[in-house]
A and B are shown apart, each in its own frame.
Chain A
Amino acid sequence: MKLTHVRALAEEYATKFNPKNLAPFPYENVTAEHKDLRVYFTSLDDDDVSGAILYKDGQYNILVNNSKPLARQHFTLAHELGHYFLHQDVLKGEQAIVDGEDTLDGPRILYRDDDNKTKHLEIEANNFAASLIMPADLVRRAWEATQSIQECARIFSVSAVAMSVRLTKLGLIGE
């Protein structure tokens, strides 16, 4: 799937499931409509892992490592939602996608060894997550109002790193 299409899809979901533009993203609206999806914030006993999505008995289960900072948890959840919306076929086949600490920069894959495919899935999920919880229009307005990465990160309840990546991708700040 083209990344432009992924981003457009994510913004569409953002409008649908977060009409009031709340942060962090109100995933409850997604689980209320998608009965085959459950979200759990729990300790995963592994500091290197941010989250995972598991397919079991016809249910998609998102596990978010609650020992991570809240900002990281919010992005991880959005990333896993990306896998849920984009990669159901893969999940049905492979049962699990486990995302490591470096989810934002690149995946640490525990399950698959097909690097190119994996990388592509994670890039799609990251782009989906960024567009879902940091819609371009809102980020532009927030940046115009604050001119501060920290403040923008606070407004969207994400980490400064995630926000700086988003601002860079939108061409609002330099590399």
Chain B
Amino acid sequence: MARREPHTPAVRADVQHYFDVLDKIQQRNAPPGEKAQKLDIEQEIAREQKIKNDNAEQDIALKRLTLRLLFLFLAVETALVFLFTFAQALHFHGFQLEEWSFRTLVTATILQITGMLFAAVRYLFPKGK
């Protein structure tokens, strides 16, 4: 029998318990260990990398779509303001806006375009990403 020299009776009892557990297992002739389902770490990393890449691609695609729609909207709006400006200048079909209405329209449009471009750059392309 192998030597066992625990330091105190309490400790001896504690350790002996584990030898008793071992004896019981060995008497039962239980199969050692249990089979856990294994994951392939390399595959999992590749899968995570793919998910990350897919997310990035989706993010880029959404940003691209948003910017296209934004530029389309701004182009249409700019074209309309140009039309108003020409109509105002040429009095086309008697088109005539009040001087201050026209100035307000042009100024508001310029401010809106600037603001939307600023917001697009600020929120679609935040610093550090």
Binding site for B on A (CB under 8 A): 20-24, 26-28, 31, 38-42, 44-46, 52, 54-57, 61, 63, 66, 70, 74, 95-96, 98, 110-113, 138, 141-142, 145-146, 151, 154-157
Whether B18 lies near A54 (C-beta < 8 A) is yes
Known A-B contacts A42-B21, A56-B2; the reply to A155 vs B34 at CB < 8 A is no
CB distance from B53 to the nearest CB of A (A): 9
Q: Which residue of A lies closest to B3 (CB)?
A: A95
Query: For residue B4, which residues in chain A have a CB less than 8 angstroms away from its CB?
Result: 95-96
CB distance from A129 to the nearest CB of B (A): 16
Whether B41 lies near A156 (C-beta < 8 A) is yes
Known A-B contacts A55-B2, A56-B2; the reply to A23 vs B41 at CB < 8 A is yes
Known A-B contacts A23-B38, A95-B3, A111-B11; the reply to A56 vs B19 at CB < 8 A is yes
Whether A21 lies near B41 (C-beta < 8 A) is yes
Whether A138 lies near B41 (C-beta < 8 A) is yes
Whether B15 lies near A96 (C-beta < 8 A) is yes
Whether B36 lies near A20 (C-beta < 8 A) is no
Whether B33 lies near A63 (C-beta < 8 A) is no
